A = this chain, B = another copy of it.
Amino acid sequence: MASVRAAVIVIGDEVLSGRTHDKNLPYIAETLSAIGIGLGEARIIPDDPAVIVRTVREMSAGFDYVFTTGGIGPTHDDITADCVAEAFGVPIGENAEARRRLEVHYADTGLELNAARLRMARIPEGAELIDNPVSAAPGFRIGNVHVMAGVPRIMQAMLSGILPTLKGGAPLLSISVRSPLQEGKAAESLGKLAQAMPDLSFGSYPAWTSTAFQLTIVVRGSDPTRLEAGAAAVESLIRDLGEVPERLGDS
Chain A residues within CB distance 8 Å of chain B: 1, 13-14, 16-22, 25-30, 33, 38-46, 51, 73-77, 111-112, 114-117, 119-120, 151, 153, 172, 182-188, 190-191, 194-195, 201-206, 208, 218, 220
Contact = CB atoms under 8 A, between A and B. Distances in A.
A191 B75 contact: yes
A220 to B, nearest CB: 8
For the complex formed by this chain, how many copies does it contain in all?
2
Nearest to A215: B75
A29 B18 contact: yes
A184 B114 contact: yes
A49 to B, nearest CB: 14
Contacts of A41: 16, 43-46, 51
B42 A75 contact: no
10 tightest A-B CB contacts, nearest first: A18-B29, A116-B187, A76-B191, A117-B184, A18-B30, A74-B187, A42-B44, A16-B39, A74-B184, A18-B26
Given A18-B30, A185-B111, A218-B19, A203 B77 contact: yes
A17 B39 contact: yes
B205 A14 contact: yes
Nearest to A42: B44
B75 A187 contact: yes
Nearest to A12: B203
A116 B17 contact: no
A76 B186 CA distance: 10
Contact of A43 (B42, B77, B191, B201): B42
Contacts of A182: 111
